Amino acid sequence: MITFLNRFTLTGDPEEFEKAFDETAAFLREQPGLIKYTLSRQLDDPASYINIALWESADALRAALAHPDFGNHAKAMRGLAESTGAIFNPRLSFEASAEA
């Protein structure tokens, strides 16, 4: 499993960006290898978002981003935000127990 971290800095309207992200994410949910993602907005800087996505492998992520239709899905999002992304290998993790 790998983690894809993508930071977005808005240049457009937040509601339009979230809608465009959701439409792009709908396409990615159909691609093999996506496990889950979370888009979060920074509390102290509403123009800053981060997407944390878990993929089965770097190859699965790269194949989804190289898909011929991906560019069309991401075009609106790219018009509303600048982004930088990177792929990470998990090293340490923690989950709280459900016990009280």
Express each pLDDT in 29-76 by its tens digit.
999 999 999 999 999 999 999 999 999 999 999 999 999 999 998 999
CA distance 17 to 90: 28
The pTM of the full predicted model, rounded to 2 decimals, is 0.88
User: For tokens 């102290």, what's the residue?
Assistant: 44
Can you state the angle between helices 70-78 and 14-29, rounded to 10 degrees?
160
